[in-house]
Amino acid sequence: MKEQRRPRLSLGKLPPEVMERYLFGMTGARSRRVVVEPALGLDFGVVGLGGGRTRGRFLIVSSDPITGVSERAGWYAVNVSANDVATSGNRPEFMQSVILLPEDASERDVGRLSSEMHTTAKALGIAIVGGHTELSPGLHRPIVVTTAFAVADSYVTASGARAGDTLMMTKTAGVEGTAILGTDPRFNRRLDRETVLGAASHFERLSVVAEAVGAYKTGAVHAMHDCTEGGVLGALYELATASGLGLDVSEADIPVSKATKRICSELGVDPLKLISSGTLLIAVKKGEESLVREAAASAGSLATPIGRFNKGKVLLTRKGKAEEVTGPPKDEIWRLHEESGEQL
C-alpha cells in the first residue's frame, strides 16, 4: 500500500500541524533550565540562569530571519528579533547575526548591511556580540538571521491571557506589509504619491520595544504577542491558542491606516492577513485598559481595545457575521508573490 502524499508546502511559515508534527518535539537534550519550550504562538524561549546572585533571573532568546526584502534588510533584521524579545516585557540587550549574501555581493553591500544593523541596534540599546557572514550560492538577495537576548527577573508570554481579559492592539493593522507593498515598484505602480509616501512612513513604526516594555510596567498585562507573518488575524489566533482560550473580536474595532486601506483596495489584499511587524497584541486585565493606553501613548503609540478573551472559540465578526478563525492564514505578501510568479 502506497503512502499517501502530503500536500506540498507553500511559501511562508509552516502550518501549525506541520510544526506540531516535526518541530516542537524535536528539541534535543532535555534540560531542567528550559523554562519556556517551543510552542505555537510563543515568541521566545526562556532559560533559567539560577545560582548565586542570579537566582531567579532568566535568559530570554528569540531568532528571526529576513528573507523577502533586500532594501533595509539589516534594519529589519534587528527590529524583528528585538520585537519578539520585547513581548516578554523586557528590552533586548544583546544580539547575534548570520548574514548570507549572494555570490555577486560586494564589500559595499557588506558595509551597508553592517552599518544598518549597527545604527539600528545602537538606537535600541542592543550590543551585537558576534555572528557569521558569508557569500552563499543560489541566493537572489541577502538572508539575515538575528538572535536577540535579554536577561530579566520576570516576564510574560503569549500563553498567559486569562478569560475576561481585554485584547488591545497597538498602532494599526498591516504596518510592515503596507511599508513593503507601498514602496515596491512591482506593486505600487497605480498608487498616488501621497499613498506611497504614507506607506514609506510605516517603516518607522516597526519597533514595538518601547510600547511593550511600557505596557508591561503597568502590571496590568497578562500576555503579549507581535503581529508578524499572517498579520493581525494570524497573531490573534496564535495568542488565543497559546493561552488555551477563545476570543471575540470585531473587525470594525481594528484600526487600519489610510495608506493601508488604499493599498489593500488597489491590490485586493485583506489588511488583517497582511504582515504587521510593529503591531502588538496585549492581553490586559479588565478595567486596567486606560493604564496600557497611557503607557502606549508615552511610547508614541496607540493602544485600542479590539476584543475580549473567553473560554469559547476564536471568532471574528465581519459585516455583522461572526466567523470562526481556525488557523493562521497565509500572509498576503506571500500570496501576491506566488501569483506574480516573481522570485523573492
* Residue 14 DSSP class: P
Residue 182, C-alpha cell as written in the block: 507601498
- DSSP summary character for residue 271: G
pLDDT of residue 72: 85
What CA–CA distance (Å, rounded) separates 100 from 301?
34
Rounded CA separation 341/17 (Å):
27
Q: What is the DSSP letter of 255?
A: -
Residues paired with residue 134 on neighbouring β-strands, in sequence order: 100
For the stretch 168-209, pLDDT in tens is 999 999 999 999 999 988 888 889 999 999 999 999 999 999
What's 205's DSSP letter? Answer: G
What is the Cα–Cα distance from 229 to 12, expressed in whole angstroms? 8
| Whether 222 contacts 156, CB under 8 Å | yes
Helix (H) / strand (E) containing 167:
strand 166-170
Low-confidence ranges of the chain (pLDDT < 70): 1-6, 51-55, 341-344
What's residue 344's pLDDT?
45
- For residue 334, what pLDDT is reported? 86
Domains of the chain as residue ranges with CATH: 16-152 (3.30.1330.10), 166-340 (3.90.650.10)
